Chain A
Amino acid sequence: MRAGSPALALTVLALPFLAWTLIALVPPLRRAGRVAGLLGIAAMGAAFIVAALAWLGAAPRTAAEHPAVTWTWIPADAGAMATVGVLVDEVALAMLLLVTLVSLLVQVYSLAYMADEPGPSLGRYYAYHSLFAFSMLGLVLAPGFLQMFVFWELVGLCSYLLIGFWYDRPSAARAAVKAFWITKLGDLGFITGIVMLWGATGTFDFGELFRLAGQGALAIEGLGTIMFLVYLGAVGKSAQFPLHVWLPDAMEGPTPVSALIHAATMVTAGVFMVVRAFPLFALVPDLLVLIAWVGAVTALLAATMACVESDVKRVLAYSTVSQLGYMMAAAGAGAAAAAFAHLLTHGVFKALLFLGAGVVIHVFHTNDMFRMGGLWRRAPWVGGAFGVGTLALAGIPPLPGFYSKEAVLGGVLEAGLTWPFVLLALTAFLTAFYMTRAVVLVFFARPHAGPAAGHGHDHGLHVPALMDGVCRLLALITIGLGGWMTVQALRGHGDAHAPGWLMALSLGLAVGGIALGWSAYQRGVPDPRRLAGVIPLSLIGAAARRGYGLDALYAGLYRAALLGFSRVIGWLDRYVVDGILNALSAWTLRAGDVLRRLQTGLAQDYLYGVALGVLVLLIWAQWGAS
């Protein structure tokens, strides 16, 4: 248990905000493009250094202490309604490091990857990036649900802006809107949940809520519903089944953006929230089981979809969905620490994989893996870096994925969730398989005699030094992290209570998946096409290719429910609401037409009226009034 310095944490938060404000508010800076990029990188680099200082300088604390500094916000008659501030515990410190590191590397990488963008566009790109980093850091440091929700929405906004960065492409614009709406669906639950929680307890503050939970004073009516609604937010954000459909489409954004979204910022927010609020989730055991099941099913479904995907970025996207399922399953099994460890290690090597994929796409000018091949000979460094990421994702020791994945599996098994454990084990096998498939197709398969493959030969292989360097650095960080985790595990700090066969199983599954992938796609034994034709596999493959019909289901629901409802409302509006108004106006016109005939324009007719009126008044005064 450690607590960091709030001042340093605030500095980390302020730096990207400063960069964003400058880039956004000073048009010449933004239009200059590269200058804006350098400013963003400088701010991010400083933020990373400060985050590292905060990490190193963190002081030990007892479990009872709550290292939050808060200021009151939204004053009301009965005290402040909410607080803002920073909560700097070990979880937040680790996230600060991860977010600043990945953001920094992605921004550096983008300088080369987006070099062809015109200046103003590049400036806009870096403004979004700085805002994105700021939002995520604010989310991580949030000491209460309300501040978390504000930054949560900012993160959603930034991912919308960056996924739709090339907004003149219809597919990108559509993907951005899809990501925005589907995560909003979850956020609706989130806000409802936290407001209900506030209504029941009167506070948004984590420290206060955890204290209540620790005292057993949180046995309020409907806590299960409240936490389920809060969990819905995480389902949308962390792309859990059935709201995962936005994540593969989010590949329409620039590749570095995908790396950022998948590794450090957007999708990790949901898992982070579950980890952060875990003491509250732990009060509802049924919900935890649901979270574990949903996580396991998400992991397996996404893994099968990754196996049949031919777009290298979408393979990585599905693998992210799958690994998020792992994290959620671990959180659901009560192993929040394992979930968080997997979040961190996954963040590092998934950034590596995406940035490596960016290099690959840069070389081949296509996303289709079946039109790539033979890159190993031409760029062993890129292959090496990508390979390190693949082995880490597959779970080969001593790379970090092995330890965190084993911790997840151990946690799920320990919680007695046998079936989710089986699903996750199967996923581990598939993960190794599809990643090997991707590596073989991209780096080892015979180069195809297409224009895409020939391009590299003609002009020589040109990978910008920045992109190459960032990939190498991330590979080194991955290896270093793995080494550190190995040392920790050997010293006995790791999860020692997992059964011994678990390590053998997870290693065996990883090696088996890699071996099958290698033999099928490199040696052709068994022939992948024939393998895909076997009855259960072919059916699963066909279903997975269609994303298990979820997109079609959503489209159908949209057409049937929303458009049907709109049609009914439209009919009511056109014929009932408008009908009443039309009838009223028609009657008014007709009545006016009748009444205007009274106006003859002859003075004597009016006088008749006056005389008649006087007569009536006289008669009334004489006989009527008594």
Chain B
Amino acid sequence: MPLNAYLTLAALVFAIGLFGVLTRRNAVGILLGIELMLNAVNINLVAFARFHGDVTGLVFALFTIAITVAEVAVGLAIVIVIFRVRRTVEADHLDLLRG
């Protein structure tokens, strides 16, 4: 399969993730969107590694997965704390920064 197919898939996944981040009202949904975007990047990395025959991309993908795990853990922890304090995780209600 040509490289373009992988890249197109990655772009689609990234766009879906971005759409989720921008439109989901639930904080957990936003986290899921971020996961999708990160995985789109992983697809790119792996595709390029394979295409160029260079393992550096694979190593980067592994790093990204590890960081993603940590990020999700921290993100979920923050969501839980917010829920405890504000009794909600709806993004529309979290507007403490409003000018």
Contact = CB atoms under 8 A, between A and B. Distances in A.
Interface residues of B, number: 13
Contacts of B98: 599-602
A602 B97 CA distance: 7
Interface in B51-99: 91-92, 94-99
Contact of B22 (A596, A597, A598, A607): A607
Interface string A413-429: 00000000000000000
Nearest to B91: A604
Contacts of A552: none
Nearest to B21: A607
Contacts of B94: 601-603
B18 interface: yes
Contacts of B97: 599, 601-603
A600 B93 CA distance: 11
Contacts of A597: 99
Nearest to B30: A604
Contacts of A596: 99
Interface in A456-505: none
Q: How large is the interface on A (under 10, 10 to 19, 20 to 34, 35 or more residues)?
A: 10 to 19
Nearest to A614: B18
Nearest to A608: B22
B91 A602 contact: yes
A171 to B, nearest CB: 64
A608 B19 CA distance: 10
A21 B28 CA distance: 88
Choose among B23, B94, B96, B98 the residue with the greatest number of A CB atoms under 10 Å from its CB. B98
A438 B30 CA distance: 109
Contacts of B30: 604
A562 interface: no
B35 to A, nearest CB: 15
Contact of A601 (B22, B23, B95): B95
Contacts of A611: 18, 22
A616 to B, nearest CB: 15
Nearest to A596: B99
Interface string A588-626: 000000001111111110011001000000000000000
A602 B95 contact: yes
Contacts of A598: 99
A583 B30 CA distance: 45
Contacts of B95: 600-602
Contacts of A608: 22
A597 B21 CA distance: 23
A602 B30 CA distance: 13
B22 A604 contact: yes
A608 B23 CA distance: 10
A603 B97 CA distance: 9
A607 B80 CA distance: 22
A597 B23 CA distance: 21
Given A596-B99, A597-B99, A603 B91 contact: yes
A601 B21 contact: no
A425 to B, nearest CB: 91
Contacts of B18: 611
A597 B98 CA distance: 8
A600 B97 CA distance: 7
A611 B23 CA distance: 13
Interface of A: 596-604, 607-608, 611
What 7 A-B pairs come out closest when comparing CB atoms?
A599-B99, A601-B98, A601-B95, A601-B97, A596-B99, A602-B95, A604-B91
